[in-house]
Amino acid sequence: MNDTDPSNTTLSELALFQLRPNFRHKFKSSEVKEIIKEVVTNRLKGKDYQMEQVQQWIKDICNEIRDKCMELKYDRYKFIVNVMIGEQRGEGVKMGCRCFWDEDCDSYATHTFMNHSLFCSVTTFGVYNY
């Protein structure tokens, strides 16, 4: 008998497979936005822009946000964390992105932090892995 043969799969095993996330386990933008806000504020509050430090700040912020999102237990979600830090010089900045996704399951959260010296824009995408 072959264990990989689909005919050996019981009805109860087939019933466990979900094509979409349970309503309670969907990516919630408001929860993720609070995580972003907390992490960015704790990491950058009172700091001045330092070009030599920015790369490490970005890595640390990305990793902490990703880890905290994983703790939310959104089953089968993949997280993409995008962090941009720049110096406040009175110039404008425009950012944008486009995604191809399932509007019913996938979403994002974003937050922008600013102080007298720097700005930080964070976007976290939650994409359901079918």
As a three-state string, the secondary structure of 88-126 is CCCCCCCCCCCCCCCCCCCEEEEEEEECCCEEEEEEEEE
Task: State whether residue 32 is helix, strand or coil.
Answer: helix
Q: Is residue 58 part of a domain?
A: yes
Specify if 10 maps to a domain: no
Cα 54 from Cα 57, distance rounded (Å): 5
What count of Cα atoms within 13 Å lies in the side-chain half-sphere of residue 43? 26
Within a domain: residue 72? yes
Per the CB < 8 A criterion, the answer to whether 109 and 26 are in contact is: no
Alpha carbon distance 83, 129 (integer Å): 22
From residue 57, how far is each of 15, 31, 46, 110, 117 by CA, in Å?
45, 22, 14, 18, 15
Number of domains in the chain: 1
Under 8 Å between Cβ of 118 and 48 = yes
The answer to whether residue 110 is domain-embedded is: yes
Q: What is the CATH number of the domain that holds 100?
A: 3.30.1140.40
13-71 pLDDT, tens per residue? Answer: 555 667 777 767 789 999 999 999 999 999 999 999 999 999 999 999 999 999 999 99
pLDDT in tens, 73-105: 898 999 999 999 999 988 888 888 888 889 899
| Residue 117 counted as domain residue | yes
Structural contact between residues 43 and 57, judged by C-beta atoms closer than 8 angstroms = yes
Range of the domain at 81: 24-128
Residue 17 belongs to a domain:
no
Q: pTM for the complete prediction? A: 0.82
In a domain, 64, yes or no: yes
In a domain, 55, yes or no: yes
